[in-house]
C-alpha cells in the first residue's frame, strides 16, 4: 500500500519582541528573551565542557541536538568551534519536528551580528520542509545534518544507520544538547523511548546538558547509563542537568543490538583502519563526484580510467539534465529520489559557469492533482512549482499548452565540463589510458593491476565507479546490471525554438539552444549496449522535439549530429552504493533466510574489506551522484550517513543477493 510522505508543518510562532519567537501551541519560548546567546553558552556549551574539550586540536567533534528551533545553539557552537580549531570538522546533527521558516530564522539571527556570516551560510542551504535527513555543508569545517521529523522516529533511524560494523558504534557522538520545550509541556521530546535512543547512540565519555532539572529527565538519563549532576540553572532557573555516559561498552552494545531487526545482512564485520589513500576506478560522473567529495574530506585519491580523460562513457553525453521524477508517496526509492535531488540542487550551483535555467515538466491533465499534492508537500517555490499554461509559457519563452511542474534549480549541464572542475584538487591524481584488469586484496589494502603494462596501483580502499561495466571484475560479476542504450540528437535552432529558455521535458527533453544548437532525446534501448548511431532514433527524437516545441517545422533539414551512450540500470532503479559482499560466503551466511525472511541472524555480512561500489545511476546520474558520493564518503570515514537507515540499506549491493535468497534462488545444497 502506498503511504504519503508525512508533511512537516512549519512552527506557528508569535513574537515577544522584534527578535524573540514564542511557540504558540506549546506556550513556550525558544530561549530567554534578550539572552539567547548567554543562555546557550551557559547551558549547552559550558554544560558540555566544550571550551576545555576544544582547547586541544581535534580532527572532528559531533554534537547532537534535540530541537533545532532558531538554530541559535548551532550558530554559537559553530562559531566557537571555528575560533578554537584550525582544521578539524564539527558535525552538528539536530532533530526538528516543526522547523521555523528561513525568514523567521533571519529575524532571530539579526539580533546577533557576531553570527552573521554563519547565519548567511546556514540560510543559503536551509532545506525545504521535507521529512527525513538533510545533510548540509555549511562550510569546510562545519557540517550540519537536519533531521526533519519526530525525535523518536528520527533518532531511531539515526541509530539503525549507526551500525554498519558489528558490535561497534560507527560514529562517535561527543555531546548532546537536550533542548526540547519544557518536559511538562513537551513530553514526547523527553520520553523514555527518546532517552533510551540517546543512550543507545552514546559511547563512554559522551556528555549531555539540558536547561531542565525535571526529575523524570534526571531519572531517565540515570537509568540509561548516564551519571547525572545538577548545576545552578541559567537566569531565574534554579538548577540544570549535566551528564556523562558511563554505561559499560557491553551494556551499550547489548542495548544497541536489542533494537535491531532480525537479519543484520547490512552489518559489516569490523574493518581495520580508516583508509587514507583511495583508488577510484572510473572517471565518469560517479568517479569524479566521488573523488571531489573525498578530496574535500582530506582523502588522497587516485582516479583511474581506461579512457583518455574524464567523462568519456555515459558521462560523455553532450547535455544532461539535472531533474528528477518525484512522488508524494513514501518508499525508499521515492524518498531517495527526492533527497538526492534536493542534495544535488545544493551541490552543483557553485560548480557551474552560469545560473540554472530551470526545467519544465509537462503534465498530462490526469496528473495535475498529484502534482499539486507534491508541490504542497515540498512547500518551497525555489524547488518546485505547479504552473498553469500561461505561467508555463512565460517561463519557457515559447507557447506551452498544458500545465507543468517547474523545477527552478533544474538545468542542462555538460558533464565533461563539470568533471574537469571537479578534478581541480591537488589531492586527486588522474591516471588515464589505464584500464584496470584485476583487483587483488592485500593484507593492508588492494592492488590494482593495469592491463597491457606492469604498472600497479596500491590503495587502502577501492571504489568501483565503472557504470555499465561494473560487472567486469571477479568480485562483482554477480551484479544484476542492465545496459540501456540511449541516443541524443542535435539540431539547429530556428526563430521560435531560439526563444526557449528552459529545459522542456515530456518523456524526452529538449535543451535551450547553446551556440544555436538544441540537444534532444534520448532514446531508450533496454538490454542494448550497442554504440551504433540509429537513424530511427534520430527520427523519434525529432518527432518528440517538434511535439514539445509545438512546431512541426522544427529542424526541417533533419538532425545535425547524434551521440550514443549506455546507461547502467538496476532492477529496482536505485543506485548501488556500499561495500562489496563476499558473494559465496554471503549466500552461505544468509541462506537460512529462504525459509523465513525474518529469522534472527545476528551475523556480520561477509565482505571484501575496503572494496566498494558506486554505480547504477540509470538515467538520473546528475541527480544521484552527489548524495551517493556523500554516502560512500561516510562509509569510508566510518562517519554518520547522510541517509536514514531505510534508504541506506536500500542502496547496499548485498540487497540483490538477499532478494534472491528469499525468493528461493539458492536452495539448500
Ligand atoms: C543518452 C543518454 C542520456 C542521458 N541523459 C541524462 C540526463 O539528462 N540526466 C542525467 O542525470 N543523466 C542522464 N544520463 C545518465 C548519465 O549520463 C549517467 O547516469 C552517468 O553519466 C553515469 O556515470 P558513471 O560515472 O556511473 O558511468 P560512466 O560515465 O559510464 O563512467 C564509467 C567509467 O568507467 C571507466 N571504466 C570502466 N571499466 C574500467 C576499467 N576496468 N578500468 C578503468 N576504467 C574503467 C570507463 O572508461 C568510464 O569512463 C544519460 C545517459 C545516456 C546514455
Ligand atoms: C526550546 S526549542 C529549541 C531551541 C533551539 N535549540 C534554538 O537554538 O533555538 C525546542 C524545539 O524542539 C522542537 N520539538 C518539540 N517536540 C519535538 C519532537 N517530538 N520532535 C522533534 N522536535 C521537537 C520544537 O519544534 C522546538 O523547535
Domains along the chain?
3-258 (3.40.50.150), 277-313+417-478+578-662 (3.50.50.60)
Query: If you measure from the C-alpha of residue 225 to the centroid of ligand 1, how many angstroms do you get, rounded to a whole number?
Result: 49
Regarding the beta carbon of 457 and ligand 1, being less than 6 Å apart is answered no
- Nearest CA to 171 out of 160, 180, 186, 179 is that of 160
Ligand nearest to the CA of 74: 2
Query: Parallel, antiparallel, or unpaired for β 607-615 and 461-464?
Result: parallel
- Nearest CA to 660 out of 582, 569, 591, 579 is that of 591
DSSP β-bridge partners for residue 228: 243
Ligand nearest to the CA of 64: 2
Query: Parallel, antiparallel, or unpaired for β 436-442 and 525-526?
Result: unpaired
Atom of ligand 2 nearest to the CA of 65: 6
3-state helix, strand, coil in the chain (%, to 5): 35, 25, 40
Contact by Cβ (8 Å): 126, 96: no
- Return the DSSP state at 409: T
Contact by Cβ (8 Å): 357, 394: no
Question: For 364, phi and psi rounded to 5 degrees?
Answer: -65, 145
- Nearest CA to 161 out of 64, 268, 65 is that of 268
Query: If you measure from the C-alpha of residue 24 to the centroid of ligand 2, how many angstroms do you get, rounded to a whole number?
Result: 13
Nearest-angstrom CA–CA distance, 11 and 655 = 38
Q: Which residue has 562517519 as its cell numbers?
A: 639
Quick one: 477 exposed, middle or buried, by C-beta within 10 A (0-12, 13-18, 19+)? exposed
Give me the sign of the Cα torsion angle 176, 180, 184, 186: negative
Query: If you measure from the C-alpha of residue 565 to the centroid of ligand 1, how many angstroms do you get, rounded to a whole number?
Result: 8
DSSP string covering 39-93: HHIIIIIITTTHHHHTTS--SEEEEEEE--TTSHHHHHHHHHHHHH-SS-EEEEE
Rounded to 10 degrees, what is the CA torsion of 569, 572, 574, 575? -50
Asked if the bond preceding 96 is cis, omega within 30° of 0, the reply is: no
Regarding the beta carbon of 149 and ligand 2, being less than 6 Å apart is answered no
Angular region, 529: left φ>0, alpha ψ -120 to 50, beta rest: alpha
Nearest-angstrom CA–CA distance, 90 and 93 = 10
Regarding the beta carbon of 67 and ligand 2, being less than 6 Å apart is answered yes
Rounded to 10 degrees, what is the CA torsion of 233, 235, 237, 242? -20
Ligand nearest to the CA of 451: 1
Q: Which residue has 544532461 as its cell numbers?
A: 320
Q: Whose Cα sits closest to atom 35 in ligand 1? A: 282
Give me the sign of the Cα torsion angle 607, 343, 335, 466: negative
Select from 75, 96, 129, 190 the residue to mutate for testing ligand 2; criterion: most ligand atoms less than 8 Å from CB. 96
Residues 6+ apart with CB under 8 A from 539: none
Atom of ligand 2 nearest to the CA of 74: 8
Regarding the beta carbon of 292 and ligand 2, being less than 6 Å apart is answered no
Cα 532 to its chain centre, rounded Å, is 36
Query: If you measure from the C-alpha of residue 192 to the centroid of ligand 2, how many angstroms do you get, rounded to a whole number?
Result: 17
Residues in the chain where the model's pLDDT stays below 50: 166, 249-250, 254, 259-263
Query: If you measure from the C-alpha of residue 469 to the centroid of ligand 1, how many angstroms do you get, rounded to a whole number?
Result: 10
Regarding the beta carbon of 180 and ligand 2, being less than 6 Å apart is answered yes
The residue length of the chain stands at 669
Instruction: Report the pLDDT value the prediction gives residue 262, as an integer from 0 to 100.
Output: 43
Q: Which residue has 507543468 as its cell numbers?
A: 404
Nearest-angstrom CA–CA distance, 93 and 177 = 10
Regarding the beta carbon of 150 and ligand 2, being less than 6 Å apart is answered yes
Quick one: 663 exposed, middle or buried, by C-beta within 10 A (0-12, 13-18, 19+)? exposed
Ligand nearest to the CA of 98: 2
Atom of ligand 1 nearest to the CA of 565: 53
Atom of ligand 2 nearest to the CA of 69: 27
Regarding the beta carbon of 122 and ligand 2, being less than 6 Å apart is answered no
Select from 21, 24, 70, 97 the residue to mutate for testing ligand 2; criterion: most ligand atoms less than 8 Å from CB. 97
Quick one: cell of 192? 523514555
Q: Whose Cα sits closest to atom 2 in ligand 2? A: 30
Whole-Å CA distances, 106 to 10, 89, 93, 97: 15, 25, 20, 19
Regarding the beta carbon of 286 and ligand 1, being less than 6 Å apart is answered yes
Select from 315, 475, 483, 564 the residue to mutate for testing ligand 1; criterion: most ligand atoms less than 8 Å from CB. 315
Quick one: 573 exposed, middle or buried, by C-beta within 10 A (0-12, 13-18, 19+)? middle
Query: Parallel, antiparallel, or unpaired for β 175-178 and 142-148?
Result: unpaired
Query: If you measure from the C-alpha of residue 567 to the centroid of ligand 1, how many angstroms do you get, rounded to a whole number?
Result: 6
Select from 619, 626, 632, 651 the residue to mutate for testing ligand 1; criterion: most ligand atoms less than 8 Å from CB. 619
Quick one: cell of 13? 510562532
DSSP β-bridge partners for residue 53: none
Quick one: cell of 157? 533511524
Contact by Cβ (8 Å): 196, 92: no
pTM over 0.85: yes
Atom of ligand 2 nearest to the CA of 70: 9
Regarding the beta carbon of 377 and ligand 1, being less than 6 Å apart is answered no
Contact by Cβ (8 Å): 91, 121: no
Query: If you measure from the C-alpha of residue 458 to the centroid of ligand 2, how many angstroms do you get, rounded to a whole number?
Result: 48
Regarding the beta carbon of 312 and ligand 1, being less than 6 Å apart is answered yes
The strand ranges marked E within 161-235 are: 175-178, 207-210, 226-232
Query: If you measure from the C-alpha of residue 343 to the centroid of ligand 1, how many angstroms do you get, rounded to a whole number?
Result: 20
Ligand nearest to the CA of 567: 1
Select from 286, 314, 521 the residue to mutate for testing ligand 1; criterion: most ligand atoms less than 8 Å from CB. 314
Q: Whose Cα sits closest to atom 50 in ligand 1? A: 619
DSSP string covering 618-656: TT-HHHHHHHHHHHHHHHHHT---SS-HHHHHHH-TTHH
Contact by Cβ (8 Å): 542, 551: no
Query: First-to-last CA distance in the chain?
Result: 36
Contact by Cβ (8 Å): 285, 628: no
- Return the DSSP state at 316: G
Residues 6+ apart with CB under 8 A from 552: 546
Regarding the beta carbon of 95 and ligand 1, being less than 6 Å apart is answered no
Instruction: Report the pLDDT value the prediction gives residue 351, as an integer from 0 to 100.
Output: 96
Amino acid at each position: 500500500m502506498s503511504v504519503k510522505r508525512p508533511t512537516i508543518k512549519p512552527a506557528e510562532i508569535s513574537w515577544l519582541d522584534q527578535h524573540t519567537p514564542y511557540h504558540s501551541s506549546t506556550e513556550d519560548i525558544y530561549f530567554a528573551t534578550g539572552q539567547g546567546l548567554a543562555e546557550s553558552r551557559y547551558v549547552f556549551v559550558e554544560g558540555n565542557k566544550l571550551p576545555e574539550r576544544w582547547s586541544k586540536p581535534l580532527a572532528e567533534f559531533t554534537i547532537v541536538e534535540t530541537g533545532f528551533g532558531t538554530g541559535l545553539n548551532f550558530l554559537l557552537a559553530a562559531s566557537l568551534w571555528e575560533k578554537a580549531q584550525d582544521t578539524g570538522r564539527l558535525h552538528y546533527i539536530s532533530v526538528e519536528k516543526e522547523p521555523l521558516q528561513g525568514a523567521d530564522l533571519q529575524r532571530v539571527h539579526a539580533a546577533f551580528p557576531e553570527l552573521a556570516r554563519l547565519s548567511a551560510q546556514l540560510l543559503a542551504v536551509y532545506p525545504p520542509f521535507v521529512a527525513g535527513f538533510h545533510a548540509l555543508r555549511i562550510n569546510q569545517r562545519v557540517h550540519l545534518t537536519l533531521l526533519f521529523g519526530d525525535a523518536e522516529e528520527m533518532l531511531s533511524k539515526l541509530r539503525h544507520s549507526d551500525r554498519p560494523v558489528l558490535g561497534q558504534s560507527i560514529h562517535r557522538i561527543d555531546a548532546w544538547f537536550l533542548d526540547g520545550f519544557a518536559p511538562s509541556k513537551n513530553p514526547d521530546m523527553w520520553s523514555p523511548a527518546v532517552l533510551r535512543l540517546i543512550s543507545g547512540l552514546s559511547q563512554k565519555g559522551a556528555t549531555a546538558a539540558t536547561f531542565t532539572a525535571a526529575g523524570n529527565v534526571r531519572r531517565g538519563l540515570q537509568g540509561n547509563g548516564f551519571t547525572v549532576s545538577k548545576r545552578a540553572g541559567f537566569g531565574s532557573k534554579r538548577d540544570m542537568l549535566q551528564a556523562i555516559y558511563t554505561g559499560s561498552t557491553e551494556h551499550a552494545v547489548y542495548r544497541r543490538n536489542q533494537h535491531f531487526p532480525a537479519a543484520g545482512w547490512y552489518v559489516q564485520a569490523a574493518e581495520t583502519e580508516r583508509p587514507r589513500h583511495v583508488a577510484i576506478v572510473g572517471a565518469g560522473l560517479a568517479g569524479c563526484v566521488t573523488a571531489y567529495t573525498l578530496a574535500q574530506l582530506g582523502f588522497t585519491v587516485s582516479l583511474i580510467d581506461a579512457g583518455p580523460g574524464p567523462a568519456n562513457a555515459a558521462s560523455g553525453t553532450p547535455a544532461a539534465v539535472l531533474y528528477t521524477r518525484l512522488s508524494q508517496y513514501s518508499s525508499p526509492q521515492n524518498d531517495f529520489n527526492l533527497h538526492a535531488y534536493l542534495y544535488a540542487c545544493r551541490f552543483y550551483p557553485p560548480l557551474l559557469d552560469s545560473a540554472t535555467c530551470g526545467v519544465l515538466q509537462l503534465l498530462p491533465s490526469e496528473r495535475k492533482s498529484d502534482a499539486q499534492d507534491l508541490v504542497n508537500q515540498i512547500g518551497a517555490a525555489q524547488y518546485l512549482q505547479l504552473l498553469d499554461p500561461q505561467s508555463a509559457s512565460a517561463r519557457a519563452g515559447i507557447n506551452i499548452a498544458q500545465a507543468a511542474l517547474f523545477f527552478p534549480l533544474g538545468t542542462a549541464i555538460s558533464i565533461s565540463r563539470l568533471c574537469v572542475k571537479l578534478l581541480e584538487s591537488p589531492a586527486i591524481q588522474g591516471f588515464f589510458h589505464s584500464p584496470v584488469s584485476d583487483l587483488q586484496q592485500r593484507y593492508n589494502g588492494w592492488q590494482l593491476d593495469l592491463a597491457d603494462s606492469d604498472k600497479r596501483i596500491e590503495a587502502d580502499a577501492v571504489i568501483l565507479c565503472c557504470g555499465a561495466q561494473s560487472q567486469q571484475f571477479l568480485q562483482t560479476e554477480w551484479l544484476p546490471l542492465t545496459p540501456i542504450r540511449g541516443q541524443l540528437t542535435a539540431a539547429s535552432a530556428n526563430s521560435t525554438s531560439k526563444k526557449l529558455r528552459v529545459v522542456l521535458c515530456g518523456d524526452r527533453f529538449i535543451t535551450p539552444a547553446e551556440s544555436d544548437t538544441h540537444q534532444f532525446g534520448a532514446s531508450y534501448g533496454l538490454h542494448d549496449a550497442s554504440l551504433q548511431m540509429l537513424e530511427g532514433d534520430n527520427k523519434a527524437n525529432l518527432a518528440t522535439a517538434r511535439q514539445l516545441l509545438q512546431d512541426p517545422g522544427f529542424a526541417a533539414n533533419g538532425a545535425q549530429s547524434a551521440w550514443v551512450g549506455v546507461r547502467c540500470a538496476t532492477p529496482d532503479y536505485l543506485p548501488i552504493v556500499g561495500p562489496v559482499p563476499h558473494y559465496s560466503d554471503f549466500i552461505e551466511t544468509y541462506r537460512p533466510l529462504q525459509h523465513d525472511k525474518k529469522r534472527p541472524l545476528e551475523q556480520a555480512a561477509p565482505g571484501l574489506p575496503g572494496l566498494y561500489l558506486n554505480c547504477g545511476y540509470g538515467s538520473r546520474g546528475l541527480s544521484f551522484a552527489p548524495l551517493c558520493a556523500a554516502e560512500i564518503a561516510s562509509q569510508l570515514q566510518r562517519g554518520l550517513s547522510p541517509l536514514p537507515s531505510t534508504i541506506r540499506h536500500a542502496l547496499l549491493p548485498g540487497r540483490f543477493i538477499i532478494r534472491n535468497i528469499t525468493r528461493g534462488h539458492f536452495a539448500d545444497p
